[in-house]
Amino acid sequence: MEIRMGGLLLLCSLGLAHSWPIWSMHAVQASQAASEEELHAPKTTTPMPVVTHQLSFTLQGKTAENGGKKHKGADMWVTLHGSKASSAKLYLTPGRIDFEPGETYTFLVAAGKDLGEVQSLVLFWDANTWFWTSTQYLWQQGNVNLRNMNTTAAYRTPRPTMEEKKDFHTTLIR
């Protein structure tokens, strides 16, 4: 459930752990300045219980090697693969987003069901260019992190480049 109060966005969900209901509420202050970190939250019509995860990753700063550039109006999706189930391909950027080198991006992900321990995740992005260009890349830095109510896990990437319109697989670091 999503509730807006002034500049505050509240996301409420009910999760079940050890047969006891646990209410979680995420509060996100709307960004007043461009330099503040923004949290991108999906609207969901998924029936309760909704299992919510927080996904974050950082893009490399621009270097001569990566030629990193800003991608305006891009879209991103994620698929979570857990020990109990896998999610659908979940749309992370309903308002489209500008990906900039050196920035960290954080998204709230509503899986809609209990996935168990998330073993891997797959990212997919589209630069939404209107004309044919060479292959577009996002240069990811470090690990992809996924947090739920109880734990934070890091996922290793096979390479730093996320090619546009191709699945980018990650695996859990044990």
C-alpha to C-alpha distance for 53 and 153, rounded to whole angstroms = 11
pLDDT at 127: 87
C-alpha to C-alpha distance for 37 and 44, rounded to whole angstroms = 22
Give which of 117, 106, 174 is closest to 145, Cα–Cα. 106
Q: Is residue 98's pLDDT more than 70?
A: yes
Domains with residue ranges and CATH for the chain: 38-172 (2.60.60.20)
**pLDDT tens for each residue of 7-62:** 434 343 333 332 223 333 333 333 333 334 454 555 545 555 567 889 999 988 77
pLDDT at 154: 95
pLDDT at 156: 93
C-alpha to C-alpha distance for 94 and 106, rounded to whole angstroms = 14
C-alpha to C-alpha distance for 146 and 57, rounded to whole angstroms = 9
pLDDT at 70: 84
Coil, strand or helix: which one is 13?
strand
pLDDT at 60: 86
Give which of 21, 22, 28, 23 is closest to 3, Cα–Cα. 28
pLDDT classification of 106: cutoffs 50, 70, 90: very high
**pLDDT tens for each residue of 108-141:** 898 888 888 999 999 999 988 776 667 788 889 9
CB 126 within 8 A of CB 133: no
Q: Which residue has the tokens 């966005």?
A: 9
Locate 44 and state its tokens: 């969901």
Cα–Cα distances (Å) from 34 to 37, 98, 103, in that order, read 8, 12, 12
C-alpha to C-alpha distance for 139 and 146, rounded to whole angstroms = 19
